[in-house]
Amino acid sequence: MASTTTAPLTTAPATTRVRPDTRRRTPRAILLNVALLLGLAASIGPLVWMVVSSVKPEGEIRQFPPTLLPADPTWSNYTELFAQLSFPRYFLNSVVVALIVTVGSVLFSAMVGYALAKLDFPGKRTLFALVMGTLMVPGMVTFVPLFVLVANLDLINTYAALILPFLAAPFGVFLMRQFMLDVPDELLDAARVDGAGEFRTFFRIVLPQAKPALATLGILTFLGSWNNFLWPLVAVQSADRYTLPVALALYSTGQNTVQYGLLVAGATVIVLPILVVFLALQRHIVQGIATTGLK
């Protein structure tokens, strides 16, 4: 009896490991993979073209068919871009805003998520209902009144205007609450018995437990802030507060003679750091998206 039940279990992994190698060379498999490769080319082709073109002189960018590697690589697009526009400044603005938004909103989400999941306090149900109710309210609906509010707080053209509205993120709160529900109560009780206060318990016990959720939420919040366009476009009117997307959009739509070299270099400055981060952390991002549905 025992041998008949264990035998299939031990042989099953071996067959599944061997089978794909032979099946993967059938004509059907080759056709499937070639089709996927063509799709992949369509998907990343434009991004590859962007990065390669940014180190080509203007004439070579327009050549057809495009050269895969630059025949005459040059940094002149970048040097000209940095000379004409204060791109280092915009880059710094984007980095500072995205970092503060990420750290702040993830920390605040974790704190309130913990309170909603594990503690009792007056007003808890109302707060949770309000968070859930605003989960789906799109930025398109609130940006006009938000602008009026920010103007009356005298915050137009400030970093505060770019940062403060994004520190309160209902989706982050929802996500952290769901995660904190799974933190075992025994762990918290043990910490309290040992005399740790609520805040010590949170920072020493709860936050380390929540690392995977914090990482996923942090990466995605950073991405969202880095690529954010509508609100910075509205809230900031002087060039020294522009973020990268605002600067590039206004520059690329506002000129008569199009210099693709400069534009492509500017686009690469925005996209390449994010792509590098994405490739380095893609496990967190892709799995995080898959489990949370968060963009």
Among 7, 148, 181, 239, binds another protein (CB under 8 A): 148
Among 6, 11, 84, 134, binds another protein (CB under 8 A): 134
**Which is nearer to another protein, 7 or 40 (by Cβ)?**
40
The answer to the question of residue 227 lying near another protein (CB under 8 A) is: yes
The answer to the question of residue 18 lying near another protein (CB under 8 A) is: no
The answer to the question of residue 73 lying near another protein (CB under 8 A) is: no
Least Å distance, CB 55 to another protein, is 15
Neighbours of 245 (CB within 10 A): 20
Least Å distance, CB 48 to another protein, is 10
The answer to the question of residue 146 lying near another protein (CB under 8 A) is: yes
The answer to the question of residue 252 lying near another protein (CB under 8 A) is: yes
Dihedral in degrees, nearest 10, Cα atoms 127, 133, 139, 140: -140
Among 18, 71, 132, 144, binds another protein (CB under 8 A): 144
Asked if 98 contacts 232 with a C-beta cutoff of 8 angstroms, the reply is no
The answer to the question of residue 96 lying near another protein (CB under 8 A) is: no
Least Å distance, CB 68 to another protein, is 13
Residues 191-220 interacting with another protein (rule: CB under 8 A)? 197-199, 202
**What are the phi and psi torsion angles at 258 (to 5°)?**
-85, 120
Residues 153-172 interacting with another protein (rule: CB under 8 A)? 164-165, 167-168, 170
Neighbours of 104 (CB within 10 A): 17
Least Å distance, CB 279 to another protein, is 7
Among 97, 210, 214, 244, binds another protein (CB under 8 A): 244
Least Å distance, CB 202 to another protein, is 7
The answer to the question of residue 13 lying near another protein (CB under 8 A) is: no
**Which is nearer to another protein, 76 or 167 (by Cβ)?**
167
The answer to the question of residue 9 lying near another protein (CB under 8 A) is: no
**Which is nearer to another protein, 145 or 184 (by Cβ)?**
145
Cα 29 to Cα 120: distance, rounded to the nearest angstrom = 56
